[in-house]
Structure 1
Amino acid sequence: MEDLEVRFAAFDRLDHLGALEAHPSTRGPSKKWLLQFQATNLHPDADDESVSRSFEAYLLWLFGFIMFKNGHRNTVDKILMPYAREIADADEDQVPTWSWGSVVLAATYRGLCDACIKDDDRARFQGCALLLQLWSYERLAVGRPIVDHRPYELQYYGDLEDDRPTMGTLWVCPRERTWANEQAKRTYPNFVAELDRLKADDVVWEPYSPQAVATRAPYGLSSWCTSNSGLWLTKNCLVYDIYVEAHCPDRVMRQFGYQQPFPVPRALDRISRGDHRLSKLGQPCSSTWVQKLKHYVDAWDEADEDVFEPIGDHTDEWYQHFPTWYRGSH
């Protein structure tokens, strides 16, 4: 943490903002501390180093409070700090890339695993709550806002293919958004009751079909949305920090427009229970658990080749058999 404060000490910000606040935590940078370095606080004549530190602070905020929310309440996990610095200090044409999608998914899956067994009133969901929220909004009309579903206008499009909207833009863009007139005070039991009453016809099973994309984004989506489509059906386990989670696209093949095969194994039948329960507690050093995860990480070298093969396109006739099997096996 001392190295972090030293690197940010020379940050050149607007004169009237005064001296920087010291970092009070040993866990990781806090949100309050990071906000000192936001771009709007930069001095007009700030040097490149200050701009890089502002970018690093933004990345730490993005990692710690959007992508990988943790149980440390208002601080960023220290394991994320090297990644933010490496990206911020890299030349524009040499920015390192990692599989952020799989990592965020792994963290969120683990957060859901833990949330299912916690009974502490102070417990917090870990992972990417925004991802879970958008997943729900696209598929279920339970607890979601009422938004303007008109196709995206040109104002949402930049000059480059990667500077276009995503499907999720609908739920976070500055269009008018409203909620139901009746506000429930005890929302949890009400939402559970609504979810229990859902029928198959109430679910949007293919939210990202070509038709759905064309309806919402007639001028196309950001190229980032499909840049790693070769990994969508990979069999590889997802890894984040010490967490290992099974990836089971074969259990939701209808989402991709394919026939749903069955029977299919459960998530916890695809990974060692011991590996799924890995914890840093009691580990003598990080190298111990790093070695335990190495074969999962190395497998990603061929992740686009080790994939589930579709057995055909989805048909309603075929799918009728799947719910019968599912209810009988669960």
Structure 2
Amino acid sequence: MLLQVWSWERLHVGRPTRIAEAEVDPDIDPLAAHWRVRASSQENPRPHTLPFYRDQLDMQIEEQVTWQPYTDEILQRLPPSCLEGQEIWSAEVPLICFDLVEWHLPSRVMRQFGWVQDIPPTKSTETTLHNKDRRGMRVTDWEDYRHQYITLWEDRHDYVVNGVRDPTRVAHFGQYMNWYRRITRQHISPIPARRRMVFHPEGGARHFMECGIMHAFERHFEALDALDPTNEVARQAIVDIGNSLRQMHRLFRTVRLVDDVEPNPQLGHDDEVLADGVDNPQDMDETD
């Protein structure tokens, strides 16, 4: 239930439509209480559900993500017990419950704290921790067995992560995104063999098209650098190609917005007309 509400608050994929507003006491009820009403799932198809959700996640763009659903207004209404320990909310430490240990790594999700996302430091999540449970270990002294992690937790104030506040979007060609695209699997679904009368995911095809646009946009800078500076006609032609690619990239990313998604107030929007030239790959991010 907790994971489901987390998803509904932040992502549009699979989110039901509330038919009415819930009667919520802001001084007592948690944020999730406003989902305690009749809701419709008509926009979420029943057959082929998994391929549909995967495809929607593949095509998701930044405006469809609410990074911080807990606004300052909501936080001000919460009882004091919900706000205790704020100084360690971003501590990079193990979370422990008897035999269970999970690493809390806020440096990987800085935007959920309203901070600029930089390339996070390399950190092992120690997946071998999941190989041990209480089976066959009923008499284990877990305080002694997990001593090293308990020590880290007790020193949690020494491991608080801080960042630079910035409400703007992440630069698509910035250092972090270039690194992220290099180390991660960007899309869930491969391009499928198209069969008749079944749902056909589009995410994979869009991914290849977007990568092609991005690659061509980067190469046009190389062409500009290698061009004879006295050849103004050729220079202007390459600049026009770059501007066209930038427009295509912006259109490609914005047409994926679903009709019922409101603009995200946490993000800025730049509707300025393209200039005659694009001098830096970062400029492509101003409108994508």
TM-score by length of 1: 0.48
**Partner AA of 2:80 in structure 1:** S
**Alignment match of 2:148 (pick from 290, 295, 298):** 295
2:177 aligned partner: 323
In structure 2, do the counterparts of structure 1 residues 166 and 283 end up closer, same or farther at CA, with 3 Å as the change threshold? Answer: closer
For residues 67-97 of structure 1, the C-alpha deviation after alignment (integer angstroms, 9 at most, x for no partner) is: xxxxxxxxxxxxxxxxxxxxxxxxxxxxxxx
**Partner AA of 1:308 in structure 2:** V
CA distance in 2, matches of 1:313, 1:259: 6
1:144 aligned partner: 15
1:196 aligned partner: 58
Q: Which runs of 5+ in 2 are unaligned?
A: 185-288
Q: Secondary structure at the match of 1:132?
A: helix
Q: Which runs of 5+ in 1 are unaligned?
A: 1-129, 158-162
In structure 2, do the counterparts of structure 1 residues 183 and 260 end up closer, same or farther at CA, with 3 Å as the change threshold? Answer: closer
User: Does structure 1 residue 313 correspond to structure 2 residue 166?
Assistant: yes
- Is the contact made by 1:251 and 1:260 (CA closer than 8 Å) also made in structure 2? yes
Percent identity over the alignment?
A: 28
Correspondences of 1:38-53 after superposition (within 5 Å): none
Correspondences of 1:1-330 after superposition (within 5 Å): 130-147=1-18, 156-157=25-26, 163-172=27-36, 174=37, 176-180=38-42, 183-210=45-72, 214=73, 217=74, 220-266=77-123, 269-271=124-126, 273-283=127-137, 285-287=139-141, 289-316=142-169, 321=174, 322-330=176-184
**Partner AA of 1:257 in structure 2:** G
- Is the contact made by 2:99 and 2:134 (CA closer than 8 Å) also made in structure 1? yes
CA distance in 2, matches of 1:209, 1:170: 15
**Partner AA of 1:168 in structure 2:** A
In structure 2, do the counterparts of structure 1 residues 242 and 318 end up closer, same or farther at CA, with 3 Å as the change threshold? Answer: same
Larger radius of gyration: 2
Q: Secondary structure at the match of 1:316?
A: coil
How many pairs align?
A: 183
Q: Secondary structure at the match of 2:96?
A: strand
- Is the contact made by 1:137 and 1:144 (CA closer than 8 Å) also made in structure 2? yes
- Is the contact made by 2:107 and 2:120 (CA closer than 8 Å) also made in structure 1? no
Q: CA RMSD, aligned part only?
A: 3.0
- Is the contact made by 2:115 and 2:165 (CA closer than 8 Å) also made in structure 1? yes
Q: Secondary structure at the match of 1:142?
A: coil
TM-score by length of 2: 0.54
